[in-house]
Structure 1
Amino acid sequence: MEKIALDYVENYCEPEDELLKELSRETALTQLHHRMLSGNYQGHLLAMFVKLFNAKSVLEIGTYAGYSTICIARALPENGKITTIEVNDEIQWLSEKYFEKSGMKNKINALLGDAKEIIPNLNQEFDLVFIDGDKREYIEYYNLVFPKLRKGGLILADNVLWNNKIFGKIESNDYMTKGILKFNEYITQDKRVEKLILPVRDGLMMIIKN
């Protein structure tokens, strides 16, 4: 989404609260790739999906600084839970700090490690899955979580437009872009689901299990 359009829709979105502003600032100050943070608009969008699908059990692949995790946790009912997986142990301190400050820690099950190894050992059914991990592994994440998603459940995959790189010539060593392109094509061919790409920020794919 163009910046002018994003600024406009942000003005008509619920304002970012002080805790999330603080998290955004600290992420910008301490993390090289701070633009990976979900941000206010997408955070509210994720929260709305949680409410629309009456989700009680959510899986997130790619915690990063925990911004989206907190937004989702806040939208869950009292008995709801989000399991979030992050492979990078160097950012865990930041997410844990804000999980504690948010008062949502009782709704958050934060796991550290490779999602491909963790997901097969999660013995539960999920209402909603948010995929925002390594772009090269989106298809593998998808195939691992699909059997654990309830019928009528929702998968959201982030960054599926990948800064518009998928539209041009892709360099042979650009494995991230190749991964996203292959994922988009893979989902298009999957007859078990309904799918739609929302041109929100860097592209968000909605996938509903039939």
Structure 2
Amino acid sequence: MEYLVNEAIEDYAFLNTSEEPPLLKELIAATNETMGWPQKLSGRLVGRTLKMLSTLQQPKNALEIGMFTGYSALSIAEGMPDDGKLICCETNPRAIEFAKTFFDRSEHGHKIDVIFGKALETLETLTEPLDFTFIDADKRNYLNYYLKVLELTRPGGLIILDNVLWSGKVIQPESEIDDALVETNRLIATDPNVENVFLTVRDGVNVVRKIR
């Protein structure tokens, strides 16, 4: 993934953002040491954004599509009330095993339930209205994820989509993945039933609030 912001500016923003807890720093180090594709991890700027939004929203019923090693899940759970529940969808068994070792050590780990399998299939089993969702899985299915999550989200609920700039490829799309992200972003921006802010944080974060 290529970053669109000047590296010095990115570093400055990182240094001037509240630090994540020590356990999350340890998780970052362990991910970099032992897991493939460590750049998939959300990192401080996105993680602290998720934590702040979760703290403000106080979701009782939250969802994450694409958990990887658990950094974003723990960031979301950190801001949730103690009786909140975060369902995480993940298809990588090794990532699940890794993440659970950190969930077990976190005071917020009891809020997290991990479901192995395809997220679209898991979404069909959910019945409780969603308060908060973070989407960060395969980009070809972003529109499918978003439309189903939107249907499940209560009015006033939040949907956050990561990597919506896709290293700038959304400006001149050349692939199926690029087109999927462009269409998702366009649909969100033109839907009168939601309001959104498209943030140029890291690789792009689209924060969507369902109005009705």
Q: TM-score, normalised by structure 2?
A: 0.92
Q: 1:164 corresponds to which residue?
A: 168
Q: Alpha carbons of 1:24 and 1:123: their partners in 2 closer, same or farther (altered >3 Å)?
A: same
Q: Does 1:107 align with 2:111?
A: yes
AA in 2 matched with 1:194:
E
The within-5 A match list for 1:69-148 is: 69-148=73-152
| Greater Cα offset, 13-22 or 110-119 | 13-22
Distance 1:44 1:156 in 2: 13
Q: 2:193 corresponds to which residue?
A: 192
State whether residues 58 and 79 of structure 2, in contact with CA within 8 Å, keep that contact through their aligned partners in structure 1: no
User: Could you say what secondary structure the match of 1:111 adopts?
Assistant: strand
Q: CA deviation at 1:203?
A: 0.3
Q: Alpha carbons of 1:54 and 1:92: their partners in 2 closer, same or farther (altered >3 Å)?
A: closer
Distance 1:67 1:54 in 2: 19
Q: CA deviation at 1:136?
A: 0.5
Query: Which segments of structure 1 move beyond 4 Å, counting only runs of 4 or more?
Result: none
Distance 1:194 1:116 in 2: 24
Q: CA deviation at 1:104?
A: 2.3
Q: Deviations over 1:7-33 (max 9, x none)?
A: 111222112332111111111122221
Q: Give 5+ residue unaligned stretches, structure 1.
A: none
Distance 1:191 1:33 in 2: 37
Q: Give 5+ residue unaligned stretches, structure 2.
A: none
Q: TM-score, normalised by structure 1?
A: 0.93
Distance 2:176 2:26 in 1: 33
User: Could you say what secondary structure the match of 2:104 adopts?
Assistant: helix
Distance 1:60 1:121 in 2: 15
Identity %: 36
Q: Deviations over 1:149-170 (max 9, x none)?
A: 11011110100001111123x3
Q: Deviations over 1:64-111 (max 9, x none)?
A: 110000011111111111111112223211111111122322100111
Q: 2:176 corresponds to which residue?
A: 175
Distance 1:30 1:163 in 2: 25
Q: Does 1:32 align with 2:36?
A: yes
Q: 1:201 corresponds to which residue?
A: 202
Distance 2:75 2:84 in 1: 13
AA in 1 matched with 2:177:
M
Aligned length: 207
AA in 2 matched with 1:50:
S
Q: CA deviation at 1:44?
A: 1.0
